[in-house]
Structure 1
Amino acid sequence: MKAIYTAIEDRKIGIFESPTGTGKSLSIICSAIKWLKDHRNRAELGTQQPKVDKEEDGELDWLEIEKVKKFRKKRKRDDTDDVNAEIRKLMKLSQNPESKENEAEAEFLLADLDSDYDDDDGEGQEFVEKIFYASRTHSQLSQFVKEIRKSPFKDSVTVAPIASRATLCVNPKVKKLSTVSQMNESCKQLNKNQGCEFKTKKGLSLLSHRMNNTLMDIEDTVKFGNENKCCPFYGAREALPTVDVCVLPYNLLVVPSARESCGINLKNSVVIIDEAHNLAGAIESCYSVGVTLNALTEAYKQLNAYKAKFSARLNPENLMFVKQLLAVLIGLGKDLKRVNNSEQKIVTVREILNDAKLDNINLFELLKYMTKSLIAHKVKGFADKVANTPKVIVKPKENALKEMLTKNGKKKNYKIEAEPEPEIDAKKKIPNFQLGALVQVEIFLAVLITPGADLRIIKNANDGKAQMKVFLLNPASIFAEISKDARSVLLAGGTMKPYQTLKDQLFAEVSSEKLSWFNCEHVISDSQMNALVLQRGPTNERFIFNHSNKDNFAMKQDLGRALVDIVQTVPSGVVVFFASYKQETMFYEMFKKSGFLQQIENVKTLFREPKETAGVAPLLEKYEMSVRVRGAILFAVVGGKVSEGINFSDGLCRAVIMIGVPYPDIKSAEIKLRMDTLNSKRPGGGQMLYTGLCMRAVNQCVGRAIRHRDDSSLILFCDVRYSEPRVRDHLPDWIKTRLTSYDNFDTAKKHMIDFCKKNNY
């Protein structure tokens, strides 16, 4: 606790490794909140004046002040502007002779730029310094708030939970939609049109007041929203500037546009990131998005048809942006068409903009327009309506000039040329883009032009399907923005090793003096956990589950014999982690043919991890029941659904078994480029990253066991490489110090039997 307090006080980045069951959450809460209260008390007493950034000549940093002003935007647009926009739409409809048809299509029209799209730079509430707590799942965020309720600060701390609409929305019409993207689209459309009945000034004020006076988690917020008919999604954002603690998922913290959208200001606040071993991967996944040639083609067809239908009713500014967007789709599409089958190219953002001839288009302004106008969603709605019509031919409208020239039947001898319009035939099979093809393009562009991000684009064409994918080469470039704004950033987790990999991925741009490392020993005794490396199986086959041995049938058979012996020795639950779903399937089928599967099932009920998230909860429930009845064994996958965040305490896991060393695919273009980049900065840095990514996944898997101070379990590594220093040294200290390597299976089995007896299994 003292180390956490000191790290915050000294404005450092703290890395804290504390195994599960050591009181990590409560230590973080008490230390951080104590510092926040002390800091505010000192400021009030005048012993510590708030810092003001200054330039070298002593003048106020006007750029920072302007940035803060721009950041504090009102979240609700002026009602008068909305009314005026609606009046203009109605006037356009009334002037058009086909008003009935147009009235039905009004929802697809783009509003005028001078009304709905103007930014409101008005001052918002003063944003007080606070604690931002981020974790991977909403359940972990709710658990953190429950821990605050156990602390001495339970009656003096306020919390705002920031989350997605899928978690916080209480509008039944929006909530019933199947995907988050559909919920987002529906909510935005509601607020653009007639408004959501749950988003009222009175309701938001009521919920904001409650949050600033009562400790609330996500469940409390949703319950209050349902009971009082107010919106938790916007209500939490209303309360955010003045609460003490904000809890939020990773993605809302690490993406600058998401922070701005939520009204998050990290300036001089404390950022705590729990389960931080996930952080680099979470940042990378937020900036990993692709778009296919099919999606670009479909987006172009839909937008071109939309333009043909509505061009006469769009003002010049809207029409200009629509034409720019069409040019972007054409440019990216042509660039992808040039990629040969089986070819793969990696380029920079600048190179792809040059290749697609887009360097003369301001993509920042275009994306801003797309976001505010909702054009991608309007085009999708229009395309869906056309697709559901038996057969629709979109014909060119007579423009205003032509109507004037032909008025009263007196046609002048002027040549009026119309752009040829595409025919949209419902019988023609259209690819299924659930998000909408143009929405996919918008997401791709948003990531592509992220300021300050070290991005690369992979272009390839496999089986004739051309695509380009953006990926983040260096997560440190994104993390640097967070650490620059915040007073202090604390990264906490049960297993933070390998440290060098973490430093390379996140702290490459941070000086060593600003980093503070702290490791907490596990609270269990040596008798409660034993870690064994099984170098050989019962018939003395050497275990090396690498690519060279993929066809070694004798070794695989010996693994089957070893698993049979282990389930006969270890009672209750056993969890086995394979390197991939492919490997798990291969071993399952082989065990089934060889009879080992039947021998295992004679002792324990066997379960297999599903690929679908929806199947995990029912599986774990059945697994727990079987453990209590006759014992169970679970075949799981490294990096799968149960390798993180699942609590296999006590009898649910008396042994966790790792099959092989799950190195990432060395042929991956992303992995190779990251390794080459690190090797250019430091000899051996690439190999360190390669091993580190692997061992980080291993540490998460074995961390499913030993969940509290009275828990006990065996950890078994089935591969000789775990006895090698280059692998072993990346294990957490509390495992490494208890690790014994066995070259004889029978000796290892006797050790397992003794361990079970000592722990009264």
Structure 2
Amino acid sequence: MNTLFDILMKGNIGIIESPTGTGKTLSLLCGSLTWLNSVSTLPEDYVRDGTKENKQTQTSLADFPAWLLDITDEDVALSTIKYDIYITCRRKTGESAFPTGTTEKAVAETKRTKIATAKGIVREGLCSSAERNPFGDGKGGRTDRCHQSIVSSVFTLSPQIYYCSRTHSQLSQVFQEFLHSAWAEDVQCSCIGGRRSFCIHPTVKRLPTDAQMSDECLFLQRNRSRGKEGCLFHNREREESIRDEVLTTNLEIEDLVQYAEKEKGCPYYASRKAIPYLKLVLLPYNLILNKKSREALGIDLKNQVVIFDEAHNLINAIGDLFSPTVTLSMLSSSHSQIDAYYQRYSDRLSSESHSFIIHLQTILKALSHLLTTKPSNFGMVNIFTVNRFIQHLHLESINLFDILHFITSKRIVQKLNGFVDTLGEDGKPPVSHFPAVTDFILALTNDNEDARVVVSYSKDNGPFLRFLLLNPSVYFKEIVDECRSVIITGGTLQPFSEFSSQLFPHLSQDRIVSLSLPHILSPDHVGAFYVTHTATRQEMRFDFSNRENPSLLSDLASKLGILCRTVPRGLVVFFPSFSMLQTTLRFLHSTGKFSSLNELKPIFSEEREKDVFAAYSSYLKDHPSKGALLFAVIGGKLSEGINFSDDLGRCVAIVGMPYPNKTDVVLQERMKYLDQQKAGLGQDYYSNLCIKAVNQAIGRAFRHKEDWASVVFLDYRYCQQSIRSRLTRWIDNRGLVCNNDDVLLKQLQAFYQRFNLGV
């Protein structure tokens, strides 16, 4: 926490690894909010300093009444009083944020009355003599102007913390930690998300994809603007009322949605309106990483703090987010819609617009033709640099930047959406793919060396084009440059150099602060065992060439039997892929070994489209002494989002190593690009993809300081120093090599005897 505070005070970049169960989330919240509280004071030199960087602030404060400036002389933190200023302004203007009929006593009994000193100063300033009262008689436009001036200026002066994670379920856990902290009394915090989490419209919320939800929502808004039936929940007054509830009460997403349903207002737009007034904003990665999303939400990152939690996959997340894919059907649909629009309105278009639309049609036609007719010298998957791709399509003479400026300045996406609405049947608009196609064209404006274009003629998925971003710092740099500080954190981040080289290559190393914290687990609560050989002294190596080796699979079954007889409660076995899991299951069934293992511990197996965890955990709860065996896949749902704390996972076994397919042309292109930056980076990247996934799976079993479990590595390669050095340090430091079954059994028995639990 002290390191985090120091990073934020100095405006540095932090890479902090803190194992699960060490109080990482609470430390991040308390450390960052402590810093925020310390800098939220508005000192005299900040208000009156005439330096260039503070000139804008000085101007915005010039119209403030003297009593408000006097507060700064009292060293009262803005973070303490700003909400009271806002609420008092609204109440004074007759726009109470509290429910109708709420008494002054009830208001006084809210949690915010605990800030008595600041409240007294504010209320004295707002409600004393006419000389100090900026509201006059409370009537007319002067009140509104004062309200807006004070609210907007005061709120923008205080920094904000944007806390990001990958999923809403992870953000929900962060929110619960926040509610149990001392800061929940004084800090305005809310979760911000997409329509999938917030929409309450009965039709929109049932749509299968986010894109369809967005299209339908905007369609209903356009309908309403034309006097037709629209969304009855999209109402400014009700949304502002819900916004005020967000600001006065820290609500979880589910609670906010319920409140909005009761008020018949849109929680999606209400939560967006609350963002400028929040101190702590919780939101998914993509809403911060994507500039369009930030602009849509009104998020300005200048001098703010952004924390990326669960960041082990952040680099890949950036790459995926900015690697748009377009299919032949998407291109054909967009081309048809542009043609129809042009034919309908061509006589109204300026000569400039005529020219740009013709260029746009040329681009769409060229892209469609490439996917329609496979050149004889093309393979099934083809890789181009950006320049070569544009040259191959003979589009060098078209300025893509001008095309994109035309699309933006003339609001072509919005106009085309409105036009497409008129083409729908039974009042249902056809989905417009033009925004996705525009994203692909925008991606083609990246530097030639930062990306590639993939042209695929897949028989399974149909032909498609994919822009492949190779340099994630292209998009991350803007965030880093705008923010005061960026914090990268997670339970398994090693090696840190990967983040420095791929996300912060433009920064000097002295601005990047790295910290790896040890686990708080007692040393005797963790067992780590490296199993190197089969009973016949064959190396235990589950690589691609050995994946169906019957002698190796038979020995694996024997070692699983040892684990089932020794490990109490829950045993989780991770395989490197679904393919390997299925191969093992087929072998176990064909040899009769499945039934033998199933008698020792009932077997539950992960499936792609089926949730097996509920059945596994339920059985363990009902049959603790019997226990259960769960087969899972590294990289699957169970290795990423499920916690195997306590009896759910008293042992985690890792079969083989989950290296990605090295023949994949996209992976090859990424590795080649990294090797061009520095020799060996490509192979490091390849190895890290594997080991990070392993470390994530291991961490599923250790969720708090009293937890205990063993980790069994069932592959010879884990003993190699190049591999062990990349494993989570608190595991490798406890590792013991077991080169035969007797040693493995003896070590396991010794470990579990400490906890006085029978199998």
**Mapping of residues 136-535 of structure 1, within 5 Å:** 136-194=166-224, 195-301=230-336, 303-304=338-339, 310-311=344-345, 323-336=358-371, 337-340=373-376, 341-358=378-395, 359-361=398-400, 362-368=402-408, 373-374=413-414, 377=417, 385=425, 438=434, 440-449=436-445, 454-463=450-459, 465-535=462-532
* Structure 1: runs of 5+ lacking an equivalent: 62-121, 389-432
Matched residue type, 2:670: R
- Per-residue CA distance 1:276-325 (angstroms, 9 max, x = gap): 112112111212232233442354345545655x4579655877665444
Matched residue type, 1:348: T
Q: CA deviation at 1:503?
A: 2.7
Provide the rounded CA distance (Å) in 2 between the counterparts of 1:382 and 1:355: 36
Q: Please, what TM-score do these two structures have when normalized by structure 2?
A: 0.79
Matched residue type, 2:637: K
Provide the rounded CA distance (Å) in 1 between the counterparts of 2:49 and 2:235: 35
Provide the rounded CA distance (Å) in 2 between the counterparts of 1:343 and 1:37: 57
Q: CA deviation at 1:223?
A: 2.2
Q: CA deviation at 1:436?
A: 5.3
Q: CA deviation at 1:690?
A: 1.3
Root-mean-square deviation (CA, aligned residues, Å) is 3.1
Q: Is the 8 A contact 1:569 1:753 kept in 2?
A: yes
Determine which of 712, 720, 723 is the counterpart of 1:724. 720
Alignment partner, residue 745 of structure 1:
741
Q: CA deviation at 1:549?
A: 2.3
Provide the rounded CA distance (Å) in 2 between the counterparts of 1:546 and 1:485: 45
Q: How many residues align?
A: 648
Provide the rounded CA distance (Å) in 2 between the counterparts of 1:632 and 1:639: 21
Alignment partner, residue 71 of structure 1:
none
Q: CA deviation at 1:207?
A: 2.2
Provide the rounded CA distance (Å) in 1 between the counterparts of 2:231 and 2:4: 43
Provide the rounded CA distance (Å) in 1 between the counterparts of 2:253 and 2:207: 20
Q: Is residue 24 from structure 1 mapped to residue 24 from structure 2 by the alignment?
A: yes
| Corresponding residue SS for 1:667 | coil
Q: CA deviation at 1:135?
A: 0.3
Q: Please, what TM-score do these two structures have when normalized by structure 1?
A: 0.79
Alignment partner, residue 593 of structure 1:
590
Determine which of 681, 684, 707 is the counterpart of 1:711. 707
Matched residue type, 1:620: F
Alignment partner, residue 635 of structure 2:
639
Q: CA deviation at 1:125?
A: 4.3
| Corresponding residue SS for 2:251 | coil
Alignment partner, residue 5 of structure 1:
5
**Mapping of residues 110-125 of structure 1, within 5 Å:** 125=152
Q: Is residue 546 from structure 1 mapped to residue 586 from structure 2 by the alignment?
A: no
Q: CA deviation at 1:569?
A: 1.7
Provide the rounded CA distance (Å) in 2 between the counterparts of 1:448 and 1:534: 49
Matched residue type, 1:524: L
| Corresponding residue SS for 1:197 | coil
**Mapping of residues 598-637 of structure 1, within 5 Å:** 598-612=595-609, 615-616=610-611, 619-628=612-621, 629=623, 630-637=626-633
Q: Is the 8 A contact 2:356 2:403 kept in 1?
A: no
Matched residue type, 1:39: V
Alignment partner, residue 46 of structure 1:
45
Question: Against the structure 1 CA distance between its residues 139 and 266, is the aligned structure 2 distance closer, same or farther, given a 3 Å change threshold?
Answer: same
Alignment partner, residue 575 of structure 2:
578
Matched residue type, 1:557: S
| Corresponding residue SS for 2:425 | helix
* Structure 2: runs of 5+ lacking an equivalent: 58-147, 225-229
Matched residue type, 2:251: M
- Per-residue CA distance 1:624-664 (angstroms, 9 max, x = gap): 01122232222111111111121110110011111111112
| Corresponding residue SS for 1:460 | strand
- Per-residue CA distance 1:11-45 (angstroms, 9 max, x = gap): 1111111111111111111110111111011x335
| Corresponding residue SS for 1:365 | helix
Q: Is the 8 A contact 1:158 1:216 kept in 2?
A: no
Provide the rounded CA distance (Å) in 1 between the counterparts of 2:207 and 2:409: 26
Provide the rounded CA distance (Å) in 2 between the counterparts of 1:51 and 1:668: 58
Q: CA deviation at 1:469?
A: 0.9
| Corresponding residue SS for 1:385 | coil
Q: CA deviation at 1:622?
A: 0.9
Q: Is residue 734 from structure 1 mapped to residue 733 from structure 2 by the alignment?
A: no
Q: Is the 8 A contact 2:333 2:433 kept in 1?
A: yes
Question: Against the structure 1 CA distance between its residues 211 and 541, is the aligned structure 2 distance closer, same or farther, given a 3 Å change threshold?
Answer: same
Matched residue type, 1:224: Y
434-443 vs 476-485, which moves further: 434-443
Q: CA deviation at 1:555?
A: 1.1
Aligned-pair identity in percent equals: 32
| Corresponding residue SS for 2:240 | helix
Q: CA deviation at 1:533?
A: 0.9
Alignment partner, residue 164 of structure 2:
134
| Corresponding residue SS for 1:297 | helix
Q: CA deviation at 1:203?
A: 1.6
Alignment partner, residue 672 of structure 1:
668
